[in-house]
Structure 1
Amino acid sequence: MAPVVVEFSAREPERLARWWADVLGWHLDGTSVRPTGAGVELRFVPSSTTKTGKNGVHLDLRSESHDDQNKIVERLFNAGARFADIDQSSDVPWVVMADVEGNELCVLEPRKVYERTGPVAAIVVDTPDPRAQAHAWAETTGMDLVGDRAEFASLRPPSGEGPYLEFLAADSGPTGMLRLLAE
């Protein structure tokens, strides 16, 4: 199975890597953040480009209960994250935030499906064709296809542990300061 890596372009890669390592409780290795258990490597590379608009890739963070969701939101906010508006409805059960460089993330309400993912429940990718992207990534990574609809497709590691890779229907493909790599 080819591992999946999320790469962040950052004005201050060391600072952003340290921030993510701290909030996830993972290991910092230079400008890489590695999970202590189930998870996916996060890499941070320098960029002089300023973030404009919503990223086409973001992380969904898992919570174990509504109280845990509130604690995660509070911990992120106290670490410098801010609430973000990406035109989400006011009645969604998740909380949209942005890290210290403005990269969007969601703190999900408890969902049984994500109980074995570790702190990152899913890597979410905007794409015009979720099915085609999911099938291509399944072939590249060896992940199992577990959801296959026109508007949403999902992959899961064969071990059942680690984050899902989810593809959502959007007008354009991944853009912005994060990208998904298979190594």
Structure 2
Amino acid sequence: MALGLEAVTFDVGDATAVAAFWAGLLDREVRTEPGGALVAGGKTQVGLRFVTSDTKEIGPRRLHLHLTSSSLEDQQRTVEKVLCLGGRHLDVGQGADEHHVVLADPGGNELCVIEPGNNYLAGTGYLGEVTCDGSRDVGLFWRDALGWPLVWEENEQTAVQSPLGGTKISWDPWGRPPIQPKTGRNRQRFDLVTADPTSEEERLVSLGATRLADLADGVELADPDSNEFDLHPD
């Protein structure tokens, strides 16, 4: 099996501006692409891709990002950097006693700056987690699809992580099982790459994926929770 998670892709109103924000925040470079930009990751850090779309026409957000902190001062520095780069505070109903800070990037995508001492994200790196609204079954699907071990399973919550470590990807119905119904195409999706697209497509379908459409450079599929994802040749 040779399937890689190249990036989490976000549909936004201005891909250039949002990519510049994340490149500045994560200290990465921006790679301009047709219709958008890639803030590439590495062996242990997930990449982020931004595609310019009409945000009035695209569907709900089903995931957000968690950044880690080494101290309270470090957490505050990250918050200040987010605001300086064009982000903003975001009210999602969090209580005044919460230790993490909820923010949004210039495209309205939620991110949380997690408090220091969070053992769950220990050793993950700065971009500690991609957390998704999803069922236990979809977490097990992505475990098998990516070949990443399951590093958390409790109640309906699951998480996987590359064998090399780094950014975790988790699924949680966010306290509202079952998961929220889809009302349109997701604003975020996974971009996968492989050297053998035909075989990998067949394998993913055998695991429970659904083929949706041909793309100019690959195929669009959906996972068992009906979340779209793209498969491209490497």
Aligned match for 1:177, one of 187, 193, 211:
187
Q: Alpha carbons of 1:51 and 1:97: their partners in 2 closer, same or farther (altered >3 Å)?
A: farther
Looking at structure 2, the residues matched to 93 and 9 of structure 1 have their Cα atoms a distance apart, in angstroms, of 29
Once the two structures are overlaid, the 10-residue window that deviates more, 93-102 or 148-157, is: 148-157
Q: Alpha carbons of 1:37 and 1:143: their partners in 2 closer, same or farther (altered >3 Å)?
A: closer
Looking at structure 1, the residues matched to 4 and 121 of structure 2 have their Cα atoms a distance apart, in angstroms, of 19
Structure 1 residue aligned with 2:102: 96
Structure 2 residue aligned with 1:164: 168
Q: Which runs of 5+ in 2 are unaligned?
A: 194-234
Where do 1:115-126 residues align within 5 Å? 115-126=122-133
Is contact 1:59-1:105 (8 Å) kept? yes
The offset of 1:51, in angstroms, is 8.3
Looking at structure 1, the residues matched to 57 and 77 of structure 2 have their Cα atoms a distance apart, in angstroms, of 28
Q: Alpha carbons of 1:37 and 1:156: their partners in 2 closer, same or farther (altered >3 Å)?
A: closer
Q: Alpha carbons of 1:155 and 1:173: their partners in 2 closer, same or farther (altered >3 Å)?
A: farther
Where do 1:14-53 residues align within 5 Å? 14-30=16-32, 31-35=37-41, 38-50=44-56
Asked which structure has the greater CA Rg, the reply is: 2
The offset of 1:177, in angstroms, is 2.5
Aligned residue identity for 2:91:
D
Aligned residue identity for 1:2:
L
Looking at structure 2, the residues matched to 51 and 114 of structure 1 have their Cα atoms a distance apart, in angstroms, of 35
Structure 1 residue aligned with 2:15: 13
The offset of 1:52, in angstroms, is 8.6
Cα deviation 1:33-80 (Å, max 9, x = unaligned): 013673111111120123899721111011111111111001111111
Looking at structure 2, the residues matched to 83 and 123 of structure 1 have their Cα atoms a distance apart, in angstroms, of 19
- Greater relative contact order structure (CA < 8 Å, 6+ sep): 1
Once the two structures are overlaid, the 10-residue window that deviates more, 45-54 or 15-24, is: 45-54
Q: Secondary structure at the match of 1:88?
A: coil
State TM-score, norm by structure 2. Answer: 0.70
Aligned match for 1:63, one of 51, 59, 69:
69
Looking at structure 2, the residues matched to 119 and 50 of structure 1 have their Cα atoms a distance apart, in angstroms, of 31
Aligned residue identity for 1:172:
Q
Aligned match for 2:153, one of 127, 148, 154:
148
The offset of 1:90, in angstroms, is 2.5
Q: Alpha carbons of 1:117 and 1:146: their partners in 2 closer, same or farther (altered >3 Å)?
A: same
Is contact 1:61-1:121 (8 Å) kept? yes
Is contact 1:51-1:102 (8 Å) kept? no
The offset of 1:100, in angstroms, is 0.8
Is contact 1:148-1:154 (8 Å) kept? yes
Q: Which runs of 5+ in 1 are unaligned?
A: none
Q: Alpha carbons of 1:16 and 1:151: their partners in 2 closer, same or farther (altered >3 Å)?
A: same
